[in-house]
Structure 1
Amino acid sequence: MNHKIKTLLAIFLISGSYSFAQSDDKIIEDFEPSSVNQPGHEYPMVNSEGRVRTQIFAPDANYVKLDIGGVKYDLVKNEEGMWIGESAPQDVGFHYYQLNIDGASVPDPGTLFYFGACRWGSGIEIPSDDQDIFAVKNVPHGHVHEILFPSESTQTSRKAFVYTPPGYEKETSKHYPVLYLQHGYCENETSWARQGHANLIMDNLIAEGKAKPFIIVMTYGMTNEIEFGGLREFDITPFQTVLVDELIPYIDSNYRTLKNQENRAMAGLSMGGFETKLITLNRPDVFSYYGLFSGGVYNPEEIKNHKNLKLVFISCGSKERPDGVKNAVSELQEAGYNAESYISEGTAHEFHTWRRSLHQLAQLLFK
C-alpha cells in the first residue's frame, strides 16, 4: 500500500486489519481458480481460508513477491523457473494486488485488470457468504452506458458511466430518480461498475422488489492528482462545478430523470464519501439523500438548515471505526433526522464493505 493511500486512510480514521502468515501455518489444499481470472488461467487461486496462491514464470528473476493487503509474501522458484507461493488468509471480498519482481511492481498476468491504487492492475475475489447480492442471475438486467459530456469549466469532454434499470428502454414514458455515486481515491469512473458490481446489485434488488428502479451516474471525482500529504488542501470546487453545473444538467437533458431535489441522491466510498459530504454541505438544495461509505460522518449542526433532507446513510466495515459511525447516526436520530447506520461484518476499507453498503442504501432510496 503506497504512502498516499495510508495518509488518506488515517485522515478518514480508517484502519485495516491484516493477518500475517506464520512459518508453521498448515495450509488447507483446497485451492480453486479465482472467479476474476483471465479466461483459461488456473492461477491465481483461492482456498477456503481465503489464502491467495499465485505463480509466474520468471526464470531469470532473483526474487518474486506477492504484494497484497499491505504485506509482501515471498514466492519460491522451482526447477523450471516457475515462482509460486501464497498469502495469509484475507478478508472476504475484492482486493487489489500486484507482483514484485526484482523490485519492479507488475500486474499478475493471470487476472483481469482493474483501476485501483492509482494503476491498472490485478484483482482477486475472496468468496463470501453473501456474494449472491452481485451474482449474475436469470433476472431482467439494466444497462451501463459509457458517455461523454461537455465540461466548459475544464474545457474537455468528460467521461461518465450511467446505469439505467431494466425496462428503461421500453417504458419510454417513465421518469426515474438518480443516484450520483462516487469512487474512492486512486480509483475512477470504472470502479463502481467493475469492482463494485453496482449494476448487478441493482438488477437483483429490483427483481426481488426490494429497491425502487433508479438511474446511477458514476464519474471521475478529480481526486487522483492530490500530492502526498495534500488532502487537507483538497479543493472541492472544480469537481463540484463539474458535477452540479455540468453533469447533472446533461443527465437531466439526455435521460428521463425526475429533475428535482427530492428525486436526487449522492453517495460515495472513502474519498468519494468525503466529496459527497463537502458537496452536500455546500449545495444542500441539490440532493435529498446523502450516503457516506467509509468516508466520514455528519453531525446535526452541519445539516441543521438542510431543507427536504430525507435520509442520511453512514456505513463502514466492522474492522474500521464502527463505533464512530453508530454514535454519529445516534446523534442525528436524536436530533430528529432520518438517519441509518450500517456496519459490514468482517470487512475493512475494501470494496465488499461498499458493495454491501450500496445494497443496503439502495433499499432505502426514493421510497
Structure 2
Amino acid sequence: MRLALVTAMACSLAAPPAFAQVATPGAAPAAAAPVVEDFKPSSLNQPGQSFPQVNSQGYVRFRVLAPEAKSVRVSLGLGGRGGTVLNKGTDSAWTATSEGPLDEGFHYYHLTVDGGTFNDPGTLNFYGSTRWESGIEIPARDADFYAVKDVPHGRVEQVLFASPSTGSHRRAFVYTPPGYDATGGTRYPVLYLQHGWGEDETAWSNQGHANLIMDNLIAARKARPFIIVMTYGMTNDVRPGSPGGLASFDITPFRTVLVDELIPYVDRHFRTLADQRHRGMAGLSMGGFETKLIAPKNLDTFGYIGLLSGGTMSPQDVAEVPGYKDKVRLTFVSYGGRELENGQTRGSPARPSTDPAANAAALKRAGLNSVFYVSPGTGHEFQSWRRSLREMAPLLFRD
C-alpha cells in the first residue's frame, strides 16, 4: 500500500466530507457557525507539505493519499483515543475536517489505516504515548512567550552519563542560559524538569519549547538565568489504566539515577550552584508524580518543588515530611482549566482527590510559599505546561 500526503487543496465545503468529533473531550460543543475557509498548513508540517491544515477557528483538515486502503482514521491525543473518519474521494485521497475546534497548542495524533498505525507523512514526529507520534500545532493567542525572537538564546545539548545502578549510560538534555559560555566564572541554579507518561527527555524542548520560554523570560528580565536538566525518568511498563496503575510504580530506581548519578554528573560538568537552595525539581503529569515521590524525601537536595498536572501538595502531605516548611522555598502546583472541570480528560490522571486550589491556599495560610496556577481553556496538554513553566520560572531561585 502506498501512503503519501497529497498537496492539492482539500475539497471545498460545497461537497464536504463526513465529519467525526476530534475536539478535546470537555471542550464546549462545536458552534453552529460555518467553518471559515482560511486553512493554512500547520507550522509542524514537513517541508513542502500542505496538509494537515489549521484554520483561524482551530479546526483541522486532513488529506492523505492511500489508494488501496479500505478505511482511514485520524486519532488525536495521548493514547490516540477517539478520532476523525476520513472519506475517500475520486482522486484516491482521503479527506476530513474536524467536527469541532481543538484547544490551542500542541497535540499528538496518528493515522489508522486498515487497522494499522502509521504516522502522517506530512508532519514532524514527536515522542509521546511510548512511540513517535505525528504532531499538530493549533496557533495560540498567547504564543508570543514561546516564539523565536531576536533575543540572546541559550543552548540545549545532549549529554551521556554513567549509571552504575542500571549498568548503562543514560541520556539527558541540558539547557544552559544565554551567556553561559561567555561568563566563565558565573555559576547557576539548576531545575530538574521531568516529562510525562509515554514521553522522554526530548519532550520539554521539542513539544514544550522550554528553552524558548526561558530565553524570552530572561531577555525580559522576568526570570533569573538557570540551567534546566531533562532526562528519561519513567518506566513504560506502567500505564495509568493498567492493573495497579501508577500506585504500583517503584520510584526507587529513578531516584537513584537522579539523585546519586545525574546530579553529581551535572555538578561536575557544569558550573552549578551545587546546594539545596539553588536546586529544584518539577515535572508534568507523571513527571509531577515522580517529583512528589522524590523531592519531599530529599529536602537536602531540592529546595523548590513544581507539580504540573501531576498531583497536589496538601497540608497533610507537608505535615508528614519533617522540615518541609523550613526547607522548601516554593511549592508550585498547576493544572489546565479543563482538567479541573471534568473528572478526567484524554490521557490525564483522574482529578485530584483533594482540591489543589484549597490545598495551595491552606499552605499559604500556614506560612509556606505556595503558588497555584490554572491555564485557561486547556486540558492535560502541552499548552497547559508551557504556560505553567512561564508562570513558575520567575518564582525560582529568587534569593
TM-score range with shorter-chain normalisation? over 0.9
Residue 104 of structure 2 corresponds to residue 73 of structure 1: no
1:185 and 2:197 equivalent? yes
Give the match's secondary structure for 1:26.
Answer: coil
Aligned residues of 1:16 and 1:320 also touching (Cα < 8 A): no
After TM superposition, list the pairs within 5 Å mapping 1:1-367 onto structure 2: 16-18=25-27, 26-69=34-77, 70-87=81-98, 88-227=100-239, 228-229=242-243, 230-304=245-319, 305=322, 306=324, 307-321=326-340, 324-367=355-398
Deviations, residues 98-120 of structure 1 (Å, cap 9, x unaligned): 11111112111101000011110
User: Does the Cα contact within 8 Å between 2:51 and 2:122 map onto a contact in 1?
Assistant: yes
**Residue 42 of structure 1: SS of its match in structure 2?**
coil
Does the aligned pair in 2 maintain the 1:16–1:349 contact within 8 Å? no
Q: Is the 8 A contact 2:314 2:356 kept in 1?
A: no
- Determine what percentage of the aligned residue pairs are the same residue: 53
Q: Across the two proteins, how many residue pairs are aligned to each other? A: 352
Return structure 1 stretches of 4+ with deviation > 4 angstroms. 18-22
Shift of 1:212: 0.3
Name the amino acid aligned to 1:39. P
Displacement, 1:300?
A: 2.2
Letter in 1 for 2:367: G
Rounded to whole Å, the distance in 1 between the matches of 2:28 and 2:96 is: 16
1:281-306 Cα shifts (integer Å, max 9, x gaps): 22121111100000001112322422
C-alpha distance in 2 between matches for 1:134 and 1:284:
31
TM-score (norm 2): 0.85
Which shifted more, 212-221 or 328-337? 328-337
- Aligned partners of 1:19 and 1:89 also within 8 Å: no
* Shift, 1:321, TM fit: 1.8
Indicate conservation of the 8 Å contact 2:160/2:172, yes or no.
yes
- The change in CA–CA distance for 1:337 and 1:301 in structure 2 (over 3 A counts) is same
| Corresponding residue SS for 1:245 | helix
Classify the secondary structure of the residue corresponding to 1:79: coil
In 2: Cα distance, 1:126 partner to 1:42 partner: 15
Match for 1:106: what amino acid?
Answer: F
Which region of structure 1 is more displaced relative to structure 2, 200-209 or 26-35? 26-35
Structure 2 match to 1:10: none
Task: Render the CA deviation track for 1:200-253: whole Å, top value 9, x for unaligned.
Answer: 000000000000000000000123221523321101100000000000000000
- The structural deviation recorded for 1:337 is 0.6
Task: Could you tell me which runs of 5 or more consecutive residues in structure 2 were left unpaired when the two chains were aligned.
Answer: 1-23, 342-353
1:61 partner amino acid: A
In 2, Cα distance between equivalents of 1:21 and 1:108 = 25
**TM-score, normalising length from structure 1?**
0.93
Q: Check conservation: 1:150, 1:157, Cα contact below 8 A.
A: yes
Q: Displacement of 1:21 after TM fit?
A: 6.3
Aligned partner of 2:108: which letter? Y
**Residue identity in the other structure for 2:205:** A
Change in CA separation of 1:16 and 1:234 when aligned onto 2, cut-off 3 Å: farther
Query: Can you give the 5+ residue segments of structure 1 that lack an aligned partner in the other structure?
Result: 1-14
Return closer, same or farther for 1:18/1:61 CA change in 2, 3 Å cut-off: farther
User: Does 266-275 or 77-86 show the bigger shift?
Assistant: 77-86
User: Which segment is superposed worse, 322-331 or 170-179?
Assistant: 322-331
